[in-house]
Amino acid sequence: MPKMSDTMTEGVIAKWHKKVGDKVSSGDLIAEVETDKATMDFESYQEGTLLYIGPKEGEAVAIDAVIAVLGEEGEDYQALLDGDEAAGKDEPKEEKTAETAVEDKNESESGADSDVSAEDLDCTVITMPLLSDTMTEGVIAQWNFKVGDAIKSDDAIADVETDKATMEVTAYAEGTLLHIGVEAGQAAKVNDIIAIVGPAGTDVAPLLKQKSSGSAPKAKAEKATDNKEKATDTKEEQVSTEAKAGDDDSRVKASPLARKIAKDKGINLNEVKGSADGGRIVKKDVEGFVPSKAEVPKAAAESAAPATETKSITLPQFIGEEKYTEQGISQMRKTIARRLGESLFTAPHFYLTISIDMDNAIAARGQINTVAPVKVSFNDIVIKAVAVALKQHPAVNSSWRGDKIRFNEHVNVGVAMAVEDGLLVPVVRFADGKSLSHISAEVKEYGQKAKAKKLQPADWEGSTFTVSNLGMFGIDEFTSIINSPDGAILSVGAIQQIPVVKDGAIVPGNIMKLTLGCDHRVVDGATGAAFLQTLKGLLEAPIRLLA
């Protein structure tokens, strides 16, 4: 049973996707495990035949306990389960995890080192934890300790950047930090070794030989460094050309990059002085070259000389440079791209837009904020109105589940928030039963945690509907991609002061446009329109939200 969150002590087998005797490949989904955070997929990292399944569906299992064994068809695995002392002399004594059970055969062939386990050395192997349900790898943002430092069980040894946020990894062990497997800035897959803690002076080489995946990120980093050095050497050893006199600069000693820049800028290399060995012209010489008056292109000189009495226009020479920068994609941006792509190209979207008269809402908000313990925003009022409307229209508070539609009886409203690296959607749970002040305080707290990258998986999981507000940025109206697996999303525009017709007269009005994005598999046009009509009535008569 893997440790799928930093607070997990046991997991419940929600469903088995394989049965004894099935062939299993690396990456296959074996089971669904319910943790203290969410129900997550448990995938195999090995290949073989499923020889044994321990707990039944619905049973709880402590972390590190054996839940299944993979091996060769017909292979005897009973010694692993019995923990027989005699068998322990012949077989490697290992931690009772599904992973070590699967690797039994390979490790038995690896020599004397395979007979040593973390328990034998009184060490604790720290692997990359699964910190969110969509995480496949994590990047070590920084190490808070170095090899040789003393570690306590509650120390946060490293900060890990996941696809959602930057989180702390707790040691859960005491001793000396003996090994760091992944350097800061490098990525490690879930369950790869990132550190080993144990008694000072312990040789952990046998553990690393058993878990070659722990050294993979390091090898990858070394390979990347070698490639970078080769690229640098290649650039420094660019082939130069022979020099010759005259206007033809084809044989001037210059690097290919300098020659390209000179060609783009229209510079004759015969006029440029090289600063490298042997007078060779390099990039900085061309970029720093300033032509003298005598070197102004002939065409420019001719255009400056009037051929007739007609006044001609002389344009100064302008030399530009094309350049750009590139930035690596963060774990959060990878996940945003994947999930929104899946949503847009899987769920058939359609959109409905309605205009709301916000005069009464503006007046109500002003009165509420004179007595409310926290300042209530228009977005808070929209969230509350959405929650009340969803209780009346359960079809909009639904999601597509492949072979069935789930109609949620609870209302959890996701609130889209922009952060430095992308977008997060923390959830206001049971929003229909909370007061405006309660919603306001909760959203403000989420906003602070999002900016500080302190949001946890429990904060963004479980939404049934999402609200995205760009009105605060002056956007009149827009459409949003549905936050899967929700069945709909509401886009909130700015409140505009425009002329409106009331009682046959044109008067100033405050209008806000709302656009409902719907998954047509679960929400039909008439269903979405009825929801918007209810929402319009609540916002134009906000006293109904307090009733």
According to the model, what pLDDT value does residue 310 have?
65
According to the model, what pLDDT value does residue 10 have?
86
According to the model, what pLDDT value does residue 161 have?
85
% of the chain residues with pLDDT over 70: 81
Task: Say whether 179 is catalytic.
Answer: no
Pick the residue with more confidence: 258 or 409?
409
The residue type at 98:
A
Q: Of 17, 410, 438, 520, which is the active-site residue? A: 520
pLDDT bucket at 532, cuts 50 / 70 / 90: very high
- pLDDT per residue as tens digits for the range 43-83: 887 888 999 998 999 888 888 889 999 888 888 888 888 76
Cis amide linkage into residue 348, ω under 30° from 0: no
Where do runs of H (alpha helix) occur along 158-237? 205-210, 216-236
Angle between helices 359-368 and 525-540 (to 10 degrees): 50
Pick the residue with more confidence: 172 or 21?
21
Range in 139-148, 165-174, 308-317, 357-366 with the lowest mean pLDDT: 308-317
In 3D space, the residue among 492, 463, 467, 482 whose CA is nearest the CA of residue 344 turns out to be 482
Q: Is the pLDDT of residue 135 over 50?
A: yes
Q: Is the pLDDT of residue 251 over 90?
A: no
Count H helices, E strands: the chain?
15, 25
According to the model, what pLDDT value does residue 336 have?
82
Range in 15-29, 124-138, 373-387 with the lowest mean pLDDT: 124-138
What is the distance between the alpha carbons of residues 502 and 397, in angstroms, rounded to a whole number?
A: 34
Task: Say whether 524 is catalytic.
Answer: yes
- pLDDT per residue as tens digits for the range 492-526: 999 999 999 988 999 999 999 999 999 999 999 99
- pLDDT per residue as tens digits for the range 435-472: 999 999 999 999 998 888 888 888 989 999 999 999 99
Q: Is the pLDDT of residue 338 over 70?
A: yes
According to the model, what pLDDT value does residue 100 have?
45
pLDDT bucket at 293, cuts 50 / 70 / 90: low
Pick the residue with more confidence: 241 or 39?
39
Q: What is the mean pLDDT of residues 91-114?
A: 45
The rounded radius of gyration (Å) of the Cα atoms in the chain is 33
% of the chain residues with pLDDT over 90: 35
Q: Which two tokens stand for residue 497?
A: 């002061």
